[in-house]
Structure 1
Amino acid sequence: MTRREFMDELGALLGDLPDKERLDILADYTEHFLIGIKQGKSEHEIAESLGSPKTIARELLAGYRIDQAQSNASVSNMSRAILATISLGFFNLLFVLGPFFGLIGVLIACYAVSFSLLVAPFGILMEYGYPEPSQERLLLLFGSLVSVGLGGMLTVGLLRFTKWIYSMFLKYLQFNVQMIRGK
């Protein structure tokens, strides 16, 4: 593979990166070729020593997606980072993607429970209106207050747990990219 073919393929594969970053990466690889040529190597030898442009692009895109997920915490950025990292290895497909979706399902279910605990008492109180006080009515009122309190505490705990899970997945993805790069 010639320098031009290598650079064209790498540039096309890095199309998702911002122009500045893509051009910086291409400049670095051009410099690798120039240094290799000064050392008396052929373009084919240099291209072989650098590796496949597809592999290089996958690693660089995975690193970019992880950095993006760190700087802008969102579900879409996390999903992109996970998918970019999964594309680096079959191991991740088997042992990361399944537990990740399972954990997302559990989090969604817990958020649904906390929402139900927060909203259900209002429905109960609306049904009875504001009648005269009686033991049954007071029990419903205090039960509703307990439900709202539990729902609020569960929501706060889930938000913190979600942030923790997010940061743990980012650390795992960074570790994974480093392992694949051999660092």
Structure 2
Amino acid sequence: MTRREFMDEMGSLLSELPDKERLDILADYTEHFLMGIQEGKNEHEIAEALGSPKLLARELLAGYRINQAQSNASVGNMTRAIVATVSLGFFNLIFVLGPFLALIGVLISCYCVAVTLLAAPLGMVVQYGIPTISQERLFLLFGSLASVGLGGMLIIGLLRLTRWMYRQFLRYLQFNVQMIRGK
């Protein structure tokens, strides 16, 4: 593979990156080729030493997605980082994507429980109306307070758990990319 072919392939594979980042990366690889030529190597040897442009581009995209997820915390950025990392190997498909989807499912169900606990007092009033007997009123009042309190505490705990899990997944993805790069 010649320098031109290598650079064209890298450029097209990195088209998702912003222009500045893509051009910086391409400039780095051009510099690798120029230094190799100065050392007396030909373009084919340099391209072979650098490795497959597809694998290099996947690693670079995974690193970019992880950095993006760190700087701008969102479900979309985390999902893109997971997908970019999973594309680096079959191992990740089993050990990253499966647990990630399972944990997301558990989190969603816990959020549903918390919202249900918050909304339960309204449902009781709508279904049964306001009780006429004072004991039933007290039961409704204290049951409603307990339900709203549990729901509120659950929401607060889930928000903290979600932030913690987000950071842990990012750490694992960074570790994974470093392992693949051999660092």
- TM-score strictly above 0.5: yes
1:157 maps to a residue whose letter is G
Q: Distance in 2 between matches of 1:174 and 1:59?
A: 11
1:137 maps to a residue whose letter is R
Q: Note the residue ranges of structure 1 that are not aligned, 5 or more in a row.
A: none
Any residues of structure 2 matched to 1:163-174 within 5 Å, and which?
A: 163-174=163-174
Corresponding residue SS for 2:114: helix
Q: Is the 8 A contact 2:130 2:137 kept in 1?
A: no
User: Deviation string for 1:99-124 (max 9, x for gaps)?
Assistant: 11110110010000000000011121
Q: Is the 8 A contact 1:125 1:141 kept in 2?
A: no
1:9 maps to a residue whose letter is E
Structure 2 partner of 1:145 = 145
Deviation at 1:128, TM superposition (A): 4.5
Structure 1 partner of 2:5 = 5
Structure 2 partner of 1:124 = 124
Any residues of structure 2 matched to 1:1-183 within 5 Å, and which?
A: 1-132=1-132, 134-183=134-183
Q: Distance in 1 between matches of 2:23 and 2:127?
A: 64
The alignment's TM-score, normalised by the length of structure 1, stands at 0.97
Q: Note the residue ranges of structure 2 that are not aligned, 5 or more in a row.
A: none
Q: Identity over the aligned pairs, expressed in percent?
A: 77
RMSD of aligned Cα (Å): 1.0
Corresponding residue SS for 2:126: helix
The alignment's TM-score, normalised by the length of structure 2, stands at 0.97
User: Deviation string for 1:44-71 (max 9, x for gaps)?
Assistant: 0000000000010000000000000001
Deviation at 1:126, TM superposition (A): 3.5
Deviation at 1:137, TM superposition (A): 1.8
2:161 maps to a residue whose letter is F
Q: Is the 8 A contact 1:118 1:152 kept in 2?
A: yes
Corresponding residue SS for 2:149: helix
Aligned length: 183
Deviation at 1:164, TM superposition (A): 0.4
Q: Distance in 1 between matches of 2:132 and 2:88?
A: 66
Corresponding residue SS for 1:96: helix
2:41 maps to a residue whose letter is K
Corresponding residue SS for 1:120: helix
